[in-house]
């Protein structure tokens, strides 16, 4: 620590990044709190402060509740399915077989596409009548024309979550695979010599050693899920009704389509508190469970 290399002047190196971060990220977040107590509409600069009116309004007309529960369902489904599928895929791809490189590429390619492209392609998949799912169902004699996954209140939210899961799996799989490759082979062999079945090797040796990649993947997917916006914006426009209206989509809609900056800011403050609370809770819990090889 007392090395001559270390000097307080080194902190000058932080200044460029810190300046940008403070001006374009932290300062706007603080302004958000200010706007949330005002009737600001984006045009008139001398706005009035109206106390907690924005907050009571967004809770009274149900916007906050609906978008909050949509976001939480989206996040839960997203975290569970993207990690389970990726974990399964990583175990498959970790087997000592040929062409794993090719398979890994096939698993990873969807992550390279822009959300907007993914949204367009999946709109085709879900399209009633001529879409992919409808056509395949009609081969089996099921009437696919009436199946409108994106247009249906009860299925739309799950349908857009599935798209995000599909796009995200490649990333999680690669991270799990890297984690699996750090599991020492002699540890697995020792387990087998002791008479552990392959299920037991997986359960008691591999899974605990995957804790680090598990923490990373769950954290990343949690953050990603709480940020849900893209597919509500591209595929469903928040609809039908408010069925796919996530917190961020609702903030965007209020601000840029209805010009209600004050109300949008109030919802943003609510989202901010929810997102921070959930993330901190999970990150602290996950970090406690890690073991090292």
Partner 1 sequence: MNGGIAKKTLTHIGISLVLLLNILPLLIALSSSFRSVSNMTNPLQLFSEFSLESYRVAYDKMHFMQALGNSLMLTVISVIVVVLFTSMAAYPIARINNRLSKALYLFFLCGLVVPSQMVIIPIVQTIQGLHIPSSQFTPILMFITCSIPFSSFLYTGFIKSSIPIEVEESALIDGAGLMRRFWQIVFPLLLPVTVSVVITQGVWIWNDYFFNMIFISRAAESPLPLAMLGFMGDQTNPTAWNVLFAACFLCALPLLVMFAFLQKYFIGGLTVGSVKG
Q: Which of residues 52-71 bind partner 1 (CB under 8 A)?
A: none
| Chain residues 225-254 in contact with partner 1, contact rule CB under 8 A | 226-227, 229, 234-235, 247-249, 251-252
**Is residue 106 a contact point for partner 1 (CB under 8 A)?**
yes
**Is residue 3 a contact point for partner 1 (CB under 8 A)?**
yes
Question: Using CB under 8 A as the criterion, what x/- string covers residues 161-190 for binding partner 1?
Answer: -----x--x-x--xx--xx--x--------
Binder to partner 1 among 99, 193, 284, 291 (CB under 8 A)? 99
**Is residue 210 a contact point for partner 1 (CB under 8 A)?**
no
Q: Which of 127, 126, 166, 160 is nearest to 248 (CA)?
A: 160
For residue 254, the minimal CB distance to partner 1 (Å) is: 10
Nearer to partner 1, 59 or 272 (CB): 272
Nearer to partner 1, 157 or 177 (CB): 177
Binder to partner 1 among 132, 137, 196, 207 (CB under 8 A)? 132
**Is residue 103 a contact point for partner 1 (CB under 8 A)?**
yes
For residue 197, the minimal CB distance to partner 1 (Å) is: 16
Binder to partner 1 among 93, 147, 160, 218 (CB under 8 A)? 93
**Is residue 48 a contact point for partner 1 (CB under 8 A)?**
no
């Amino acid at each position: 620590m007392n090395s001559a290399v270390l000097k307080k002047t080194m902190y000058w190196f932080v200044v460029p990044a810190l300046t940008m971060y403070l001006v374009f990220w932290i300062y706007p977040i603080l302004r958000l709190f200010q706007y949330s107590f005002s009737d600001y509409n984006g045009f008139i600069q001398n706005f009035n402060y109206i106390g907690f009116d924005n907050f009571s309004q967004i809770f009274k007309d149900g916007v906050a509740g609906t978008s909050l529960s949509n976001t939480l369902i989206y996040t839960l489904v997203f975290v569970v399915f993207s990690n389970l599928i990726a974990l399964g895929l990583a175990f498959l791809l970790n087997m000592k077989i040929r062409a794993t490189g090719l398979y890994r590429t096939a698993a990873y390619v969807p992550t390279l596409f822009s959300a907007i492209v993914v949204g367009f392609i999946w709109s085709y998949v879900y399209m009633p009548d001529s879409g992919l799912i409808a056509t395949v169902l009609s081969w089996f004699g099921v009437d696919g024309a009436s199946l409108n996954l994106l247009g249906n209140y009860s299925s739309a939210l799950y349908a857009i979550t599935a798209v995000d899961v599909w796009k995200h799996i490649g990333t999680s799989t690669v991270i799990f695979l890297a984690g699996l490759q750090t599991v020492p082979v002699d540890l697995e062999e020792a387990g087998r010599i002791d008479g552990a079945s392959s299920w037991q090797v997986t359960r008691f040796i591999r899974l605990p050693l995957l804790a680090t990649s598990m923490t990373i993947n769950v954290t990343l997917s949690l953050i990603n899920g709480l940020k849900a916006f893209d597919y509500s914006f591209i595929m469903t426009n928040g609809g039908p009704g408010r069925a796919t209206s996530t917190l961020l989509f609702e903030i965007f809609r209020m601000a840029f389509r209805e010009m209600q900056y004050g109300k949008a800011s109030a919802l943003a403050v609510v989202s901010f508190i929810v997102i921070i609370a959930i993330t901190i809770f999970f990150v602290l819990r996950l970090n406690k469970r890690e073991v090292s090889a």
